[in-house]
Structure 1
Amino acid sequence: MSEECYRESSNISEVEKAKSFISDNHLEIEKESEKLALLSNSVRLKIVLLLKNFNKLCVCDIGEILEVNQSAISQHLRKLKDGGILNKSREGLTIYYFIDEVNNPDLIGLLEKIFLFKE
């Protein structure tokens, strides 16, 4: 069986609309693609899922929950923060991480659909 594409007639108008759609949304596609790539790592995905369920956690909490050393957790948190998925706040000596839901509503909505979170 050949892998070439054969069609009886070309739908030039639909192809042009599709090209325009990709072109018009290129920047948003790239931005969201980078976020999804960050979440392709299971530890980072677990961190985001934990923060979705528990709102804010510190490095120590996350390391203990996932049984991963603090240095590795810190590196994952930095990548998620640099990628615009997380934010952080200081309370006394403790730094807490949380999901930046304002800048990630679509991403959070997607995670909610995939993992069926209950509000």
Structure 2
Amino acid sequence: MNSKECIRVFADKEQIKKCRNEVENTKGVIGNLSNIFKLAGSEVRLSILHLLYQEEKLCVCDLSDIMEMQIPAIAQHLRKMKDGGIIERNRDGAIVYYSLQPECAKLLKSFFRLITDKSISETKAA
């Protein structure tokens, strides 16, 4: 059998049309999520994003202490995510705070709730 041949007998044209519309209608959101997940592609960066979601803003020193990592390593992760447009940097006097870009926060809200809910249920089970 040639792997390029389809063996189905009948195509559900309505389903195909509906799914094509769904792909077209969600292209922007899917593209944004894909970019976020690409940039959050390490445990450290995903943890930083989760912390920024929970705390709203943190400075590099806070993140260094929380993650028990050197400041330059944290700064490198922050720079990559900032350059990718998923976090923002704001200065308050001498301190620079990082926060989630609002659109990113909206897109990740359900995802982070899942993480938090799972963590809570695992803690209760233990």
Give the alignment's TM-score, normalised by structure 1. 0.79
**3-state SS of the aligned residue for 1:88?**
strand
TM superposition shift of 1:74: 1.0
Residue 80 to residue 62, structure 1, CA distance change in 2 (3 Å)? same
Q: CA deviation at 1:5?
A: 5.7
The offset of 1:46, in angstroms, is: 0.9
Q: Which residue of 2 aligns with 1:24?
A: 25
Q: Name structure 2 gaps, 5 residues minimum.
A: 121-126
Larger mean CA deviation between 72-81 and 24-33 belongs to 24-33
User: Does the Cα contact within 8 Å between 2:60 and 2:74 map onto a contact in 1?
Assistant: yes
Q: What residue number does 2:73 align with?
A: 72
Runs of 4+ that moved beyond 4 A? none
Q: C-alpha root-mean-square deviation of aligned residues, in Å?
A: 2.3
Residue correspondences, number = 115
User: Percent identity over the alignment?
Assistant: 34
Deviations 1:8-63 (A, max 9, x none): 42102211221232133323322211111222211101111222222221111111
Paired with 1:88 and 1:52, the residues of 2 have a C-alpha distance of 14
Structure 1 window deviating more from structure 2 (50-59 vs 19-28): it is: 19-28
CA 1:55 to 1:27, structure 2 compared with 1: closer, same or farther past 3 Å?
A: closer
Unaligned runs of 5+ in 1: none
Per the TM alignment, residue 106 of structure 1 is displaced from its structure 2 partner at its CA by: 2.2
Shift of 1:93: 1.0
Structure number with higher helix proportion: 2
Contact kept? 1:84, 1:103, Cα under 8 Å: no
Aligned position for 1:63: 64
- Match of residue 103 from structure 2: 103
Q: Which letter maps to 1:23?
A: E
Shift of 1:79: 1.9
The alpha-carbon distance between structure 1 residues 24 and 49, as it changes in their structure 2 partners (threshold 3 A), is closer
